[in-house]
Amino acid sequence: MARTAEPTKTQVQHFVLIKQPDFLAGGGHLSALEAARQLLDAGMWPLWSRTPCKNLVREGDRVAIYLSGTRNQCVVATAAVQFKQPWSPPFARRYPLALSGTPCQVLVLEGVTWLRKPILVRRRAARLSFMDTPKWGANFMGGMRRLSQEDFEAMTSPDVADMEGPDRAAR
């Protein structure tokens, strides 16, 4: 498994946030795309007690939004971390999805950019340094993963090969 070098205090780190289908706070099932859209429109992303890397992410870091599930497996947006803080009642009141438990922290996001077309990770798996298993979807478990800058760029930069995929991310 590839390891990413420890960053300096001023070096931007890169992460992927993983979203699966969810439920609205008032009820109703949402696709992974719609659930991610709700969170990004609210400018927040919860971090749970078991979320990997939650203590590494900080202000200014970049995140890619990955949709999990057999019909998705794609990156649809990027954003920057404005700040991270403990979960609190004001965040709970604004949180658009149903909560099953209490997050321990929240990322407040800014500069959300929706990709023109979803980037299908399967088509880029061979270029990603952390893909160390034939069941590569297992690399996207746990809600969050730290990436090298090269892996982040490979997962978020447009590529001619991806332009034939569905236009599911269009706003």
| pLDDT computed for residue 3 by the predictor | 52
Tell me the HSE value of 45 on the side-chain side, using a 13 A CA sphere. 30
Distance CA 64, CA 14 (A): 8
Strands 74-86 and 105-120: antiparallel
- Is 72 contained in some domain? yes
- Is 165 contained in some domain? no
Can you list the residues of the chain whose pLDDT is less than 70? Answer: 1-9, 129, 133-140, 142, 160-171
| pLDDT computed for residue 164 by the predictor | 45
Please report the beta strands in 8-133, taking only residues with DSSP state E, as ranges in sequence order: 14-19, 22-23, 29-30, 44-47, 62-67, 74-86, 105-120
| pLDDT computed for residue 142 by the predictor | 67
State which residues form the domain around 62. Answer: 14-159
> How many distinct structural domains can be found in the chain?
1
User: Looking up tokens 């696709």, which residue turns up?
Assistant: 31
% of the chain residues with pLDDT over 70: 80
Residue 45: CB atoms within 10 A of its CB come to 25
The answer to whether the predicted template modeling score (pTM) of the entire model surpasses 0.85 is no
Phi, psi of 129 (to 5 degrees): -70, -25
- Give 136's DSSP letter: G
Distance CA 155, CA 105 (A): 25
- Is 104 contained in some domain? yes
- Is 169 contained in some domain? no
Distance CA 157, CA 154 (A): 6
- Is 167 contained in some domain? no
The domain spanning residue 139 has which CATH number? 3.10.590.10
| pLDDT computed for residue 73 by the predictor | 87
